[in-house]
């Protein structure tokens, strides 16, 4: 790694106002608060409003992150949007949000790695900035996942929620910031978690059942994959950073299921308190879940300068990724 330190210098979040509790879901499908809470850890989630879109919450989160970094929109040299629920196939949600943030001219694009998108985005931002081309990159994870839910499928509709969270990546004091990253994918698992309709393979204009236009998932297989891949990612990225597992202060996994997080932490032999978990109030918010958990923990004053924070993601693709940060942002 070059002798130039790059890290997160600002964070911002935006969640839709409308919420849907487990009790509300009991009225829609055959489920119970007890089942959802005990099997996933979720109590409630936010749902995007009829009059808003993913680029709206993305733009709001993005502007908050820019302000939190003490910057102006004009200071942003690149926008990377990561979403599994883009507003359109194209143009990118990055460009839609760019206009809503009052920005122009900087490159803006969507990065598709499903729930691993934020982790992938951090790795890419670090590498682009190390090449000295860009000084401030705005990375946004944003989802309107609930627009792709089959509200009659209890195995999926209880799990997801909508949110946006953003980070400004920029120069930090030497030795702080992004220490190492790791990314991977295995397309043989593409069928485990997907939205079958809407792309060119089966466009909406072709005859397709309504249920195919929604998220389909083999929950048990994804669960097994997650419990295996999280410890592998953490061990790999920590070794790349030249650190040991017991030097980790906080582990922020993709928020998909509390049981996944707990099993992975147990496998790694980490203390339970090191796991950051906020799924209870948001559900699985895809590419937004890691930055949302990070921003919330930061805002609550949980981190101190120098803490070693590991982010670890997994998602459709199948994809996975992890990042090690030596925390530099003051509380």
* Least distance in angstroms from the C-beta of 3 to ligand UT7: 36
Nearest to ligand UT7 of 95, 256 (CB atom) = 256
Interface with ligand UT7, residue 109, by CB under 6 A:
no
Which residues are the active-site residues?
A: 115, 254, 284
Nearest to ligand UT7 of 93, 289 (CB atom) = 289
Interface with ligand UT7, residue 115, by CB under 6 A:
yes
Interface with ligand UT7, residue 252, by CB under 6 A:
no
What number of chain residues touch ligand UT7 (CB under 6 A)? 20
Nearest to ligand UT7 of 39, 228 (CB atom) = 39
Interface with ligand UT7, residue 172, by CB under 6 A:
no
Which stretches within 241-303 are classed as H helix? 258-268, 279-282, 289-299
Q: Which residue has the tokens 């297989």?
A: 221
Phi, then psi, of 151 in degrees rounded to 5: -70, 5
The Cα-based distances of 229 to 49, 308, 320 in angstroms read 34, 20, 7
| Residue 99 CB-half CA count within 13 A | 6
Q: What's the distance, CA 184 to chain centroid? A: 16
Q: Interface with ligand UT7 by CB under 6 A: which range of 54-62, 215-223, 243-251, 292-300?
A: 215-223
| Contact positions with ligand UT7 (CB under 6 A) in 149-168 | 154-155, 158
Among 12, 62, 253, 315, binds ligand UT7 (CB under 6 A): 315
Nearest to ligand UT7 of 108, 287 (CB atom) = 287
310 DSSP β-pair partners: 251, 324
Among 113, 165, 226, 290, binds ligand UT7 (CB under 6 A): 226
Q: Which two tokens stand for residue 213?
A: 């236009």
Interface with ligand UT7, residue 256, by CB under 6 A:
yes
Q: Which residue has the tokens 């749902």?
A: 47
Q: Interface with ligand UT7 by CB under 6 A: which range of 16-24, 166-174, 195-203, 219-227?
A: 219-227
d(CA 76, CA 119): 20
Q: Which residue has the tokens 């089942």?
A: 35
d(CA 258, CA 264): 10
Q: How many CB atoms are closer than 10 A to CB 251?
A: 24
Residues that bind ligand UT7 (CB under 6 A): 31, 35-36, 39-40, 115, 154-155, 158, 193, 217, 219-220, 222-223, 226, 256-257, 284, 315
């Amino acid at each position: 790694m070059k002798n130039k330190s790059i890290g997160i210098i600002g964070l911002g979040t935006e969640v839709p106002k409308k919420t849907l509790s487990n009790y509300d879901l009991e009225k829609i499908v055959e489920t119970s608060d007890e089942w959802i809470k005990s099997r996933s850890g979720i109590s409630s989630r936010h749902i995007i409003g009829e009059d808003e879109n993913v680029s709206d919450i993305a733009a709001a989160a993005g502007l908050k992150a820019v302000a939190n970094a003490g910057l102006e929109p004009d200071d942003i040299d690149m926008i990377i949007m990561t979403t599994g629920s883009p507003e359109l196939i194209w143009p990118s949600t990055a460009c839609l949000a760019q206009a809503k943030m009052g920005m122009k001219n900087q490159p803006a694009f969507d990065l598709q790695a499903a729930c691993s998108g934020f982790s992938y985005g951090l790795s890419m931002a670090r590498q682009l900035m190390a090449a000295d081309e860009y000084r401030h990159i705005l990375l946004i994870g944003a989802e309107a996942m609930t627009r792709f839910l089959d509200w009659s499928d209890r195995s999926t509709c209880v799990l997801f929620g909508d949110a946006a969270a953003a980070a400004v990546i920029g120069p930090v004091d030497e030795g702080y910031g992004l220490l190492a990253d790791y990314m991977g994918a295995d397309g043989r698992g593409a069928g485990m978690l997907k939205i079958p309709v809407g792309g060119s393979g089966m466009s909406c204009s072709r005859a397709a059942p309504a249920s195919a236009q929604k998220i389909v998932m083999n929950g048990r297989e994804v669960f097994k994959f997650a419990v295996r891949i999280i410890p592998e990612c953490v061990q790999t990225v920590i070794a790349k950073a030249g650190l040991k597992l017991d030097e980790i202060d906080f582990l922020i996994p993709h928020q998909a299921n509390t049981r996944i997080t707990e099993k992975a932490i147990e496998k790694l032999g980490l203390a339970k308190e090191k796991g950051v978990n906020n799924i209870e109030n948001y559900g699985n918010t895809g590419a937004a879940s890691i930055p949302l958990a990070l921003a919330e923990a930061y805002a609550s004053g949980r981190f101190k300068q120098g803490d070693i924070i590991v982010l670890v993601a997994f998602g459709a693709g199948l994809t996975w990724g992890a990042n090690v940060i030596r925390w530099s942002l003051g509380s």
